Each structure stands twice: as structure tokens, then as C-alpha cells.
């Protein structure tokens, strides 16, 4: 979206020079009043001039402004946008220009985790922490209703209220973006998932990058930029947490059993090949089957096997 923000091109005076001029007005007013009283000049003309200069002196005081680094003021002259002033320092600017102060510094947002449904429909709790800052002051103040949301306050409170309004806008949009992104992926690996499929638990970098992209797309209309966003909390919802824990335990047990069986089969094959190669004993197919069965029971059993001595003989 094309920005309408521009630099302020109006008259700007160094604050210290303006302060010197302001101080010089005081003795000028005093001298005019004294000259009028003593009759050195026309009393009416001197009084009017002194009054006008006094009013100008008071109005002149309102134009002083101090601005810190990473702050900006949006200049509005009788409802018309005149530009954004970003220079840090002490300045004097036309007092009839309204100066709406905003902060350009980075801010953190860490809302409470929300409940969403993942790709498979399971309810999960997910939270995000993000770093954001204002990038376009025109959009921030005039494209969204931030000033009404901030309320009609004055001074430093107005700046704080305005920034809280921006924060609330970011909070709502981050909630919507998080729901959208989380609904595209499963919490964890599913039975039908392939290795290339991303999940919320195992693909944090990819998910965070997509979340940043979604947030910047949503917040661009408000002139807000998300510098970083990452998922900082991820868990199953309480109502299914116990069931899913059992599922994970069962999956872990199955995986462990598969490795045990693979190892046991390799050991049985090695034992049979060794017996055959070294001609220790000649086993027929029935005896081999019995030996394989016994070895697999011993190797795959959860508890130690009880030895049984066979006093019979092997029929050749």
C-alpha cells in the first residue's frame, strides 16, 4: 500500500535561538510601557504595541518542543496533515500547528495463550510473543481510528494512551493471525503425515516466518511493522491433554518395540548363521522355528526369561 507520509517542510527554528528571542521580548515590552507612561511616544500606540507584543510573547512560548531519538510528531495544521517531524533536539515550531507525538521504538507484546483447533481438529493452547514498532505515522494516526480509541487526554498521557491503542490493535490482529496460521498445521506428527509435512511442534522456524508474514500483511494498513514473532507456548487443551499424553506414550512404546524387534531378528539370524557355518548343530526347519520362537520371546520380553534345561536329545 502506497504511503502518504512525508517529512515536515514547515518553518523550524533552533530552540535556543527562539528562546533568546523570547527573552528579548520581555525588556521590549517593558520599554514600550515605560515610554508610553513618560510620554516619549503616543500612549495609545505604545500601549497597543506593548499589548500585541505581550500576546505574541505568550503565544511564542507554546511553540517550543523537545524531541528524543526514535520519537516523531505528526504535524496537523487546522485539520490538514503537514508532514512528520523526526529530528531529535530542541526546536521552535509554529504554535498553531498541532503536534501529535508518537514513539517509534520497538515494543514487546506477550498476550495470554488462546485456544484454537489445529489442522486435525484437536483443540490446542498456543501463545505468541512478538516485537513491533511504528513504521508509517500517517497510516497509524489517520488510516485506523487510533485517536478515538486512545481517548481525549493531554500531555504525556496522550502519548501513552495513543500507544496503548496501537498495542490493542496489534493484539487483536495477532490473535486473528495466530488462529489462521495454527489452523493450517497439525500439532504433532499424525499417522498419515509424511516427513515433508510441517507441524507446529517440530517446524518452529517455518511457522514463525509465516506468522511474521501474516502479521505484517494485516498490520500494514496501520503503519505497524512486526520485527519478530515466535510461538512461545504450545500445548494440548486441558480437556484432551491426558488422552494425547497416552497417545504419545503409546507411540513411543511402539517405536521402541519396533527397534527391539528389528534388533532381535538380526540377532536370531546371526545366531542361526553362526551355528550353521561352524557346524555346531544341524537343525531341521521345525527345530529352527522353535529356536527362533524361543529367542524372540527371550529378546523381546519385558521381563528376564526363566532358564529351562532340556534334558532330551536332538533328532538328526
Structure confidence by residue, pLDDT tens digits, 186-220: 888 655 445 568 888 888 899 999 999 999 999 99
User: Hey, where are the domains in the chain?
Assistant: 12-101, 107-236, 242-300
- Which stretches of the chain are assigned E, i.e. beta strand? 12-14, 64-67, 71-77, 80-85, 89-93, 98-103, 107-109, 114-117, 123-134, 224-236
pLDDT greater at residue 303 or residue 88: 88
Give the model's pLDDT for residue 154. 44
Helix (H), strand (E), coil (C) string for 2-37: CCCCCECCCCEEEHHHHHHHHHHHHHHHHHHHHHHH
Compute CA distances 279 → 27, 309, 314, whole Å.
123, 22, 14
Contacts of 49 (CB under 8 A, 6+ apart): 32
Which helix H or strand E contains 297, and what residues bound it? Answer: helix 285-300
Q: Which residues pair with 108 in a beta bridge?
A: 131
Fold classification of 107-236 is Tetrahydropterin Synthase; Chain A (3.30.479)
Give the model's pLDDT for residue 152. 47
Using the Cα atoms of residue 35, residue 40, residue 44 and residue 46 in order, give the sign of their dihedral. negative
Name the percent of the chain lying above pLDDT 90: 42
Q: Which three cell numbers stand for residue 48?
A: 497597543
Phi and psi, residue 153, nearest 5°: -125, 170
Q: How many CB atoms lie within 10 A of CB 139?
A: 21
Q: Which three cell numbers stand for residue 299?
A: 529378546
Give the model's pLDDT for residue 155. 45
Instruction: Give yes or no for residue 222 having a pLDDT over 70.
Output: yes
Report the alpha-carbon distance of residue 219 to residue 140 in Å, rounded.
10
Structure confidence by residue, pLDDT tens digits, 93-131: 999 999 999 999 999 999 999 999 988 888 999 999 999
Amino acid at each position: 500500500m502506497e504511503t502518504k507520509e512525508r517529512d515536515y517542510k514547515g518553518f523550524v527554528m533552533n530552540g535556543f535561538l527562539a528562546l533568546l528571542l523570547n527573552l528579548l521580548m520581555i525588556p521590549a515590552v517593558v520599554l514600550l510601557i515605560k515610554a508610553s507612561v513618560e510620554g516619549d511616544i503616543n500612549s495609545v500606540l505604545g500601549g497597543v504595541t506593548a499589548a500585541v507584543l505581550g500576546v505574541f510573547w505568550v503565544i511564542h512560548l507554546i511553540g517550543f518542543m523537545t524531541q528524543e531519538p526514535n520519537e516523531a510528531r505528526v504535524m496537523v495544521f487546522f485539520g490538514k496533515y503537514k508532514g512528520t517531524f523526526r529530528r531529535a533536539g530542541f526546536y521552535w515550531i509554529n504554535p498553531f500547528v498541532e503536534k501529535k507525538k508518537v514513539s517509534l521504538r520497538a515494543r514487546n507484546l506477550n498476550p495470554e495463550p488462546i485456544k484454537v483447533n489445529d489442522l486435525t481438529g484437536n483443540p490446542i493452547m498456543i501463545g505468541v510473543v512478538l516485537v513491533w514498532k511504528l513504521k508509517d505515522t500517517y497510516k497509524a494516526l489517520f488510516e485506523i481510528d487510533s485517536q478515538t480509541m486512545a481517548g481525549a487526554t493531554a500531555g504525556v498521557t496522550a502519548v501513552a494512551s495513543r500507544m496503548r491503542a496501537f498495542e490493542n490493535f496489534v493484539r487483536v490482529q495477532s490473535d486473528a493471525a495466530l488462529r489462521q496460521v495454527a489452523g493450517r498445521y497439525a500439532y504433532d506428527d499424525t499417522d498419515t503425515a509424511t516427513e515433508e509435512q510441517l507441524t507446529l511442534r517440530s517446524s518452529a522456524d517455518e511457522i514463525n516466518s509465516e506468522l511474521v508474514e501474516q502479521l505484517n500483511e494485516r498490520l500494514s494498513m496501520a503503519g505497524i511493522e512486526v520485527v519478530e514473532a515466535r510461538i512461545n507456548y504450545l500445548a494440548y487443551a486441558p480437556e484432551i491433554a491426558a488422552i494425547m499424553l497416552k497417545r504419545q506414550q503409546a507411540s513411543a512404546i511402539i517405536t521402541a518395540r519396533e527397534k527391539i524387534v528389528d534388533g532381535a531378528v538380526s540377532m536370531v539370524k546371526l545366531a542361526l548363521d553362526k551355528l550353521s557355518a561352524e557346524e555346531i548343530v544341524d537343525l531341521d526347519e521345525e527345530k529352527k522355528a522353535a529356536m527362533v520362537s524361543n529367542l524372540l520371546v527371550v529378546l523381546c520380553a519385558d521381563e528376564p526369561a526363566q532358564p529351562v534345561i532340556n534334558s532330551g536329545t536332538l533328532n538328526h
